[in-house]
């Protein structure tokens, strides 16, 4: 198992080094895609060897459990689609002068580095290393957000860096306090931040110190998730980043950050009881749903619309986590997986649309279904997935989340959440119909789709359809992961 985890980390690290040295070439770009596919293969192999047990590896530095394998699978799927599509996307950017050789070289190096940092974040056993890995994702994606080096891109980059850095500093304070509490239970200093050690000592942690640590950790990592009140970076960053990077950030980075929250919640609940963080998650989750729903009704930009939709879904996931039951956690993990695939297809679709219109303004994009069957069909599949319509997987996950909230006696939260989701649903349907339907305007440019982008869209849309029909072995994986981090 150690070898598989190391392969999942070192392959994208090697791809990043090759990209930095050799620059943007077809070979280096394909190596980046291969590194992402390697992560997916490693996740599949690790999943077959779990047998329902946690495995701590490399002297407490790494761990393999059902939650880490689940997140590895999401990283692998979204990463493979995004890096594959990115080959044609960057070639097109170079052809149109939107970037240069140095910008392409940076992209070739940073995207695999970003993937490696996320793998470390979900496979580290030490929460200090988790903190470093999450901070590394901020550093890598900051340069990717500013890829085009426009005024808007640089502004989005600075907003992203400042807000996420504040959040990670707050999370660092929580990490230090948790170390302090663990040391006072007799945990050895060199292993006091290991998840297995913290879990073993959780019941003995000082409740007051752990409560403060839990609050800081929740605030810090929720800033990375894009939850209220740290949500303001998300739409700016997603709207300015290259389409494949937006797919990675929305489809997997937000979920990776939230997986850390799930692990921290299990520890804090064992020391303080489930009520403390439940209140915090309900507050930030419902507030995020409310803000996202309202912003969706007024947004005029396609990529910002998709970013606000990500906020909406992360808010719903936070509300589901508040329930804390095994059923609720399994449902939110299915939601994470389905959202990752659907949002990746949607963000990748924005690449050719932006190239054809020199804009992502909704008013400028019309009759896509009639002008490009591939983009129209892909966008429609991604949007139907996102809207949670049957038979797609988010329909099942949202029903399961609703049932789990009712079972947890949170019917009032369910009512508020469903009302806000209905508002967001109506806004998404209105904007999507404007983009997809209607007569073809005169004088519009053709929508051209690079070959690699087309391949990624077809595979992504197919994966969304298949996941809606059956989750296959993922069902057992989600159930096992839920049993490990659920607190009720």
Nearest CA to 457 out of 311, 353, 308 is that of 353
Going by pLDDT thresholds of 50, 70 and 90, the confidence category of residue 52 is: low
Q: At residue 96, what are phi and psi to the nearest 5 degrees? A: -95, 5
**Most confident segment among 86-100, 105-119, 145-159, 351-365:** 105-119
Q: Which segment of 180-189, 203-212, 376-385 scores lowest on mean pLDDT?
A: 180-189
Q: Between 158 and 186, where is the model more confident? A: 158
pLDDT in tens, 326-350: 999 999 999 999 999 999 999 999 9
Mean pLDDT of the chain: 92
DSSP-H helix ranges across 124-206: 127-145, 151-183, 195-201
Going by pLDDT thresholds of 50, 70 and 90, the confidence category of residue 409 is: very high
Q: What is the pTM of this model?
A: 0.95
pLDDT of residue 387: 94
Q: Are 286 and 319 in contact (CB under 8 A)?
A: yes
Q: Are 223 and 167 in contact (CB under 8 A)?
A: yes
The mean pLDDT value for 70-83 works out to: 97
Q: Between 2 and 79, where is the model more confident? A: 79
- Map out the domains of the chain as residue ranges: 2-485
pLDDT at 59 over 80: no
Q: Which segment of 45-59, 214-228, 390-404 scores lowest on mean pLDDT?
A: 45-59
pLDDT in tens, 370-407: 999 999 999 999 999 999 998 899 999 999 999 999 99
pLDDT at 58 over 90: no
**Alpha-carbon separation of residue 47 from 36, 69, 72, 74, 335 (angstroms):** 17, 6, 10, 13, 19
pLDDT at 289 over 80: yes
The mean pLDDT value for 417-442 works out to: 93
What whole-number distance in Å separates Cα of residue 309 and Cα of residue 339?
10
Burial state string for 223-261 with b = 16 or more CB within 10 A and e = fewer than 16:
bbbbbbebbebbbbbbbbbbbbbbbbbbbbbbbbbbbbb
**Most confident segment among 44-53, 265-274, 314-323, 478-487:** 314-323
């Amino acid at each position: 198992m150690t070898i598989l985890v190391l392969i999942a980390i070192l392959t994208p690290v090697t791809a990043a080094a090759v990209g930095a040295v050799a620059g943007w070439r077809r070979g280096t770009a394909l190596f980046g895609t291969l590194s992402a596919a390697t992560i997916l293969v490693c996740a599949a192999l690790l999943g077959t060897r779990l047998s329902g047990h946690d495995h701590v590896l490399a002297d407490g530095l790494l761990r393999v459990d059902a939650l880490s394998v689940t997140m590895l699978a999401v990283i692998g799927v979204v990463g493979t689609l995004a890096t594959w599509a990115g080959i044609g996307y960057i070639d097109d950017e170079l052809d149109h002068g939107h970037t240069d050789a140095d910008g392409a070289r940076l992209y070739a190096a940073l995207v695999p580095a970003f993937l490696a940092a996320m793998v470390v974040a979900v496979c580290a056993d030490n929460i200090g290393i988790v903190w470093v890995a999450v901070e590394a994702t901020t550093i890598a994606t900051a340069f990717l957000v500013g890829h085009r080096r426009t005024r808007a891109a640089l502004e989005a980059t600075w907003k992203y860096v400042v807000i996420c850095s504040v959040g990670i500093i707050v999370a660092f304070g929580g990490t230090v306090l948790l170390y302090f509490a663990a040391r006072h239970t007799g945990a050895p200093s060199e292993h006091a931040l290991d998840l297995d050690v913290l879990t073993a000592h959780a019941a003995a942690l000082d409740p007051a110190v752990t409560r403060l640590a839990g609050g800081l950790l929740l605030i810090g990592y929720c800033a990375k998730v894009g939850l209220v009140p740290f949500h303001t970076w998300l739409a700016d960053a997603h709207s300015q980043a290259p389409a494949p990077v937006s797919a990675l950030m929305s489809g997997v980075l937000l979920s990776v950050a939230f997986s850390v929250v799930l692990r921290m919640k299990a520890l804090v609940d064992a020391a303080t009881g489930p009520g403390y963080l439940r209140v915090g998650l309900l507050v930030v989750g419902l507030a995020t749903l409310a803000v996202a729903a309202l912003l969706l009704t007024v947004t005029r930009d396609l990529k910002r619309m998709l970013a606000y939709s990500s906020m909406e879904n992360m808010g719903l996931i936070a509300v589901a986590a508040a329930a804390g039951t095994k059923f609720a956690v399994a449902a939110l993990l299915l939601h994470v997986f389905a959202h990752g695939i659907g949002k990746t297809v949607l963000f990748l679709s924005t690449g050719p649309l932006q190239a054809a219109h020199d804009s992502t303004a909704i008013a400028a994009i019309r009759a896509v279904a009639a002008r490009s069957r591939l983009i129209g069909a892909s966008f429609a599949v991604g949007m139907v997935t996102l809207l949670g319509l049957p038979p797609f997987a988010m329909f099942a996950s949202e029903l399961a989340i609703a049932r789990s909230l009712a079972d947890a006696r949170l019917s009032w939260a369910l009512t508020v959440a469903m009302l806000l989701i209905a508002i967001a649903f109506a806004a998404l349907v209105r904007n999507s119909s404007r983009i997809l339907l209607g007569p073809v305007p005169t004088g519009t440019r053709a929508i051209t789709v690079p070959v690699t982008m087309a391949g990624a869209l077809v595979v992504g849309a197919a994966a969304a359809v298949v996941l809606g029909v059956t989750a296959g072995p993922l069902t057992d994986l989600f159930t096992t992961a839920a049993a490990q981090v659920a607190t009720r």
